[in-house]
Amino acid sequence: MGISTILDIIGSVFVGGLLLLILFRLNTSATGTLYNSNAEINVQQAMVSVVEVLESDFRKIGYCKDWTKIPDPSKSILYADSNSIKFLTDVDNVGVVDSLYYYMGSTSQLSSTPNPRDRLLYRVVNTDQAKSSNVGITKFTLKYFDALKNPINENPVSVPALINSIQIDVQVENTEAFDSVYTVAFWRQIRLAARNLRNR
């Protein structure tokens, strides 16, 4: 075996190694792209499901099918701070006044998930058990405005009757990351106004 044969073998091993390295990188890239695409779809679907419930509930603040049961809608918000709110509404549209309470749990409640920032958003109807699901919510904040669109900068709001509109911010991330990158979706409802709060 001559020098040229050895050089040919070394050259082919080198070229084969490069091709194998390129193949591994392409495989990793394709896997990452597929995972991120699926994660993005999952995050958007989770966001849509959360937003649909929030918008429906918040638009019914102070609403009751039998309007005589909430004669003063300005008193329908019972408690309000930057991460929680409790208000009166008719959840099932049957003419019965219910209380609805939204609040965020702590990150320690979901310490078993890979995402260190995800939390549970709880929804409590009357005195029922709090209901939630882990859809990857990492942020749920509320800002309140009076009838003149001025922000109410108290936390908690000392006079909830002053609230005329609410800004809701929700952020959702996937519960597991690919290569330490989490897919994020953010939604903001700017000054969601419950029509019943204006009936004063």
Question: For the segment 97-146, what is each residue's pLDDT rounded down to a tens digit?
Answer: 999 999 999 988 888 888 889 999 999 999 999 998 888 899 999 999 99
Q: Residues 6 or more apart from 35 whose CB is under 8 A from it?
A: 178
Per residue in 170-180, pLDDT tens?
999 988 776 67
Strands (E), 93-164: 98-104, 121-125, 137-145, 151-152
Q: Residues 6 or more apart from 65 whose CB is under 8 A from it?
A: 90, 93, 94, 95
Does position 94 have pLDDT exceeding 70, yes or no? yes
Report domain extents, the chain: 37-198
Cα separations (Å) of 164 from 90, 91, 194, 196?
19, 20, 8, 9
Q: How confident is the model at residue 198 (pLDDT cuts 50, 70, 90)?
A: low
Is the pLDDT higher at 74 or at 166?
166
Q: Residues 6 or more apart from 141 whose CB is under 8 A from it?
A: 82, 83, 168, 169
- Mean pLDDT across the chain: 86
Does position 199 have pLDDT exceeding 60, yes or no? no
CA distance 147 to 44: 33
Query: Which pair of tokens denotes residue 80?
Result: 């309000």
